Amino acid sequence: MATEFRDVIPVLPYRDIRAAHDYLIRVLGFASGGVIEDGDGKVVHAEVRAGERRFWLHETAGSLAPPNDSGSRSGGIVVHVDDVDAHHEHAAREGAEILRPPTDEDYGQREYGLRDGEGHDWYIATPLRQPATS
């Protein structure tokens, strides 16, 4: 099957979409792609952007739940930045829950981990010119 893929948009569930939106902008440095409210002012969808990449923030519904609600972590999101150390310093100043500090990984990137308020794990990384050696 020959298919031309145009985009991939991760959908992340949150109980408090507005708080998640604002956190991702303040702590991770993403840009807002907008917030959508229903007729009663309840946020039902939001978008944040990391460069050309978009993330949709979706309300918790049925089996779609953030890790803190589901009790499990089945994955994480990796975002590449120009300077992982500067990004880490900023996130730490903003009060992010840091899972581990910036570390050179043997698979070729320097990265650190953080967890947002609803349990999604984010790994912020800068690719290294060559993989680290032991």
Query: Confidence class of residue 13 from pLDDT cuts 50, 70 and 90?
Result: very high
Q: Do 51 and 91 lie in a common domain?
A: no
CATH number of the domain encompassing residue 43: 3.30.1900.10
Query: Confidence class of residue 133 from pLDDT cuts 50, 70 and 90?
Result: low
SS3 for the chain is: CCCCCCCCCCEEEECCHHHHHHHHHHCCCCEEEEEEECCCCCEEEEEEEECCEEEEEEECECCECCHHHHCCCCCCEEEECCCHHHHHHHHHHCCCEEEEEEEEECCCEEEEEEECCCCCEEEEEEECCCCCCC
pLDDT value of residue 72:
81
Please report whether residue 85 resides in a domain.
yes
Please report whether residue 2 resides in a domain.
no
Q: Do 83 and 115 lie in a common domain?
A: yes
Lowest mean pLDDT, pick from 69-78, 93-102, 109-118: 69-78
Question: In the predicted model, what is the mean pLDDT of residues 63-85?
Answer: 90
Please report whether residue 100 resides in a domain.
yes
